[in-house]
A = this chain, B = another copy of it.
Amino acid sequence: MKGIRQLADHLQISIGTVSRALNGKADVNPETRRRVLEAAEALGYVPNQSGRALRQGTTNTVGLIMTQGVNLGANNDNFFPGVIDGLQAVLARHGLDLVVLLCSSGEDPDAYLRRMVARRIVDALVVTATRTIDPRLDFLQKAGVPFVSLGRSQSGAGSPWIDLDFRGIALHSVERLVANGHRRIAVAAPTNDVHLGSIFMQGYTEALEAHGLPYDPEIVFLAETSEEGGYDVADRILHLENRPTAILLIAELMSVGLYRRLGEAGLRPGPDLAVIAERESPVGRFLLPRLTCFRVRLKELGVQLGETLLSTIPAFSPLYPDAPRRKIWPLELVEGESDPPISV
């Protein structure tokens, strides 16, 4: 645990310069500022908190808003821990802490957000599980609370966001399946109004069109993004006359239930139904066959969210001149065993 004096000694720069660099003053040259921030992180610099408020007299705390049943309880086995690690790494540079604000399943997310803002527990927010129409973003803009959202929305015009490339996933997956001989490709998308669902479906529709494949509503499944949702989808597929040979799942946990239902019917995931799922996770890695999916660099995503958030706050914006205000976050395909070429 180092203080500002040790940091100055280490860098052989004056305490005043280190202090101005840490506080984001304009009169420090960018290279010096970068060196100070890096050393602060490497040495575990712990700032004296009294001078470091996001606004004077405030909490030095950033909130991550999550919604029960949307972020948690589904699709969460490693996503948020990784993102939070990255966010915390950025905030720690400035002596800021992160708290997670969990909107319980029975509560209206809009009312919850207003209450948390009124409580003044945090000075800035990372909003997740954005809906297509999301009044929270408009509210935060009006209230003047700095925020970044993980996920786009039609609301909050001009507000900063980082979003996973759900369109890219759909395009890449369909292309890969077509290259492997599949022509009848199903999709499972979420039943709720989280905006990523509609972006994913747009990508799927575009990709079909690009490959001259018809859009067949019979193999477009709306389902819970959970094991049970995947089980239901497989069950519906088993009842079809004209079954798909491949399926694209919006959430990897769905594959667990899908695999089970196929297994119950004596069918093999992979050879009998090719599967690609959205995101790499430990569960998918240990399924048999191993899931073909997409990797998100989670910690880097958290770092980006943190830097974009800080870049919108006057006290920190000079430190992050290059942070993008909006960014579509790329994913990388991880080949598994679940989508072999079509068997003829």
Residues of A near any B CB (own CB < 8 A) = 1, 59-61, 63, 68-69, 72-73, 76-78, 80-82, 84-85, 88-89, 92, 97-102, 104-106, 111, 115-116, 119, 121, 226-228, 230-231, 253, 256-257, 259-260, 263-264, 282-283, 285-288, 290
Smallest Cβ distance from A89 to chain B, in angstroms? 8
Least CB separation from A254: chain B residue? B286
Which one of A100, A115, A226, A230 has the greatest number of beta carbons of chain B within 10 Å? A100
Q: Are B286 and A256 in contact (CB under 8 A)?
A: yes
Least CB separation from A46: chain B residue? B115
Residues of B within 8 A of A260 (CB): 286-288, 290
Q: Are B100 and A88 in contact (CB under 8 A)?
A: no
Residues of B within 8 A of A259 (CB): 286, 288
Q: Are A81 and B69 in contact (CB under 8 A)?
A: yes
Least CB separation from A80: chain B residue? B72
13 A-B pairs (CB sep. < 8 Å): A59-B121, A60-B119, A68-B81, A73-B78, A73-B81, A76-B76, A85-B104, A97-B119, A228-B282, A228-B285, A256-B283, A257-B286, A264-B288
Smallest Cβ distance from A300 to chain B, in angstroms? 15
Q: Are B121 and A61 in contact (CB under 8 A)?
A: yes
Residues of B within 8 A of A61 (CB): 119, 121
Which one of A89, A116, A230, A256 has the greatest number of beta carbons of chain B within 10 Å? A256
Least CB separation from A263: chain B residue? B288
Residues of B within 8 A of A63 (CB): 99
Extra 7 A-B pairs, beta carbons < 8 Å, given A61-B121, A76-B77: A61-B119, A68-B85, A72-B80, A89-B106, A227-B282, A228-B282, A283-B283
Q: Given the complex of chains A and B, what is the CA–CA distance between A4 and B271 in angstroms?
A: 63
Smallest Cβ distance from A52 to chain B, in angstroms? 12
Smallest Cβ distance from A290 to chain B, in angstroms? 8
Q: Given the complex of chains A and B, what is the CA–CA distance between A228 and B92 in angstroms?
A: 30
Residues of B within 8 A of A102 (CB): 84, 88, 98-100
Smallest Cβ distance from A263 to chain B, in angstroms? 4
Q: Given the complex of chains A and B, what is the CA–CA distance between A314 and B206 in angstroms?
A: 62
Q: Given the complex of chains A and B, what is the CA–CA distance between A160 and B285 in angstroms?
A: 40
Which of B1, B82, B115, B286 makes the CB contact (< 8 A) with A97?
B115
Q: Given the complex of chains A and B, what is the CA–CA distance between A82 and B102 in angstroms?
A: 12
Residues of B within 8 A of A264 (CB): 288
Which one of A1, A81, A121 has the greatest number of beta carbons of chain B within 10 Å? A81
Q: Are A101 and B99 in contact (CB under 8 A)?
A: yes
Residues of B within 8 A of A1 (CB): 111
Q: Are B282 and A253 in contact (CB under 8 A)?
A: yes
Q: Are A285 and B99 in contact (CB under 8 A)?
A: no
Residues of B within 8 A of A226 (CB): 282
Least CB separation from A63: chain B residue? B99
Q: Are B97 and A116 in contact (CB under 8 A)?
A: yes
